[in-house]
Amino acid sequence: MRIIINSFSAVLIILILILIIKSTALAHIPLDTSISATKAEPIFVKDHQISWAAYNQLDNAGDVDYYSFQAEQGEEIYFSMVIPEIEKYQNFRPDMALIGPGLENDYAGYNRNYINSFLKLDPEEKIIVVRDDQADPEIFFEPFTRTSYWRRQQFSTAVTAAGTYYLAVFSAEKAEGKYTLAIGRKEVWGLRDLIRMPKIWWDTRIFVEKDTSTYLILAFIISITLFLVYRFIFKQ
């Protein structure tokens, strides 16, 4: 029996590690979105080319979340948006705007004065608005957290002028809802990130409102763990 338990434990650990390694090849490092995200105090992205994910939400009408980063000439700026597959957010289509030097203004059909006022742009700031008009967006399934998202807009551009750039997430229609913003393409995971995988799994599932199933899975894992410990200690 002890051999069976040890074998089962080893197989379980191996399967978990394989799933983590497979998922991190597609995953983004979560950004800390618990801090301020205003224009004056934006969420700072240390390296915009590394793949990051911001699990955040527009809390009220007129809310704007700002992210900032430094970019050098010749680098690529890339970002994309997905929305948790939750029924109440099916028609939630937040807008994004890249603000910084060297850009050619593009308001994506919105009124220039309205956007400038909404985002409180300085006269010298340049902007590219990226909106999404998909009626039937593709659904993306993430295997590690077992969560699904609607794919919305994505955008990339080459940096022509070095400096500080802002990425604003807002809703010109003043809608509210949750979103996941991805920044950068380069997947770079360290040991610290791998250690944090259980927390990332937990936080992501709670973010997409899978509370009940998450607690049931946790209860199952705890039960199996306690059973294995009991058998190991008292049935040797």
Report d(CA 181, CA 144) in Å as an integer. 18
Q: Could you tell me how many residues make up the chain?
A: 236
For 32-188, CATH gives: 2.60.120.380
| Residue 80: other Cβ atoms inside 10 A | 20
How many Å apart are CA 111 and CA 188, to the nearest integer? 39
Which tens digit of pLDDT belongs to each residue from 34-92? 988 999 999 999 999 999 999 999 999 889 999 999 999 999 999 999 999 999 999 99
The yes-or-no verdict on residue 116 having pLDDT over 80 is: yes
Predicted local distance difference test score (pLDDT) of residue 75? 97
CATH 2.60.120.380 residue ranges for the chain = 32-188
Neighbours of 135 (CB within 10 A): 5
Shortest CA distance to 139 belongs to which of 128, 152, 130, 127? Answer: 152
Q: What is the pTM of this model?
A: 0.82
* pLDDT tens for each residue of 173-205: 999 999 999 999 988 766 776 677 888 888 899
Asked if residue 144 has pLDDT above 60, the reply is yes
Model confidence pLDDT, tens digit, residues 10-22: 444 444 544 444 4
Q: Is the pLDDT of residue 110 over 90?
A: yes
Task: Indicate the residue type of 177.
Answer: G
